[in-house]
Amino acid sequence: MSKVEEKLASMGHTIPDSPAPVANYLPAMRSGNLVFLSGVAPKGGDGTTITGKLGSDRSVEEGYEAAQRCALNLLANLKKTIGDLDKVTQIVKLLGMVNSAPDFADHPKVINGASDLFVEAFGDKGRHARSAVGMGALPMNISVEIEAIVEVAD
């Protein structure tokens, strides 16, 4: 178990199995020392997925949890690609998409679920650039989808 996984476990989190893609794409693509991680859904280890719009069906707190789940699924895909999460040198960029009601404006608070998890797990290596945007709909009515770019050691 990597030091990052041990840190996550101490926080009460486990990395789930790598989620299978739901269409014709790869979960991750490595180019040099960058790994581009495809967007993932907030599916939990128990198989449940957080669905619904933030601001009408779901609270900011539920959205935060959804973003945490997305972060763990991103780490699952990253681990499958590079083998050891201790090879991460920097979480570079996140794009957080929030399925939101038209008047919802707390997208950054929702995506903080992922950002906070990465910073807690990786320290300064977890600090990243980020966009947090609202969407009128997301696939399968998921509440949050997040993609990432991560720099890794050889």
Instruction: For 40-61, write each residue's pLDDT tens digit.
Output: 999 998 889 999 999 999 999 9
What pLDDT score does 68 carry? 98
Q: Is the pLDDT of residue 75 over 90?
A: yes
28-31/129-135 β-pairing: unpaired
With 0-12 / 13-18 / 19 or more C-beta atoms within 10 angstroms meaning exposed / middle / buried, residue 71 is buried
* pLDDT band (50, 70, 90) for residue 1: confident
Range of the domain at 86: 3-19+27-152
What pLDDT score does 45 carry? 83
Q: What integer is the mean pLDDT of 64-85?
A: 97
What pLDDT score does 62 carry? 98
Instruction: Write out pLDDT tens, residues 110-151.
Output: 999 999 999 999 999 999 999 999 999 999 999 999 999 999
- Tokens, residue 130: 């980020």
- Cα–Cα dist 29/151, whole Å: 12
Q: Is the pLDDT of residue 14 over 90?
A: yes
- Tokens, residue 129: 């650039």
Q: Is the pLDDT of residue 154 over 90?
A: no
What pLDDT score does 4 carry? 95
Number of domains in the chain: 1
CATH at residue 41: 3.30.1330.40
Mean pLDDT of the chain: 96
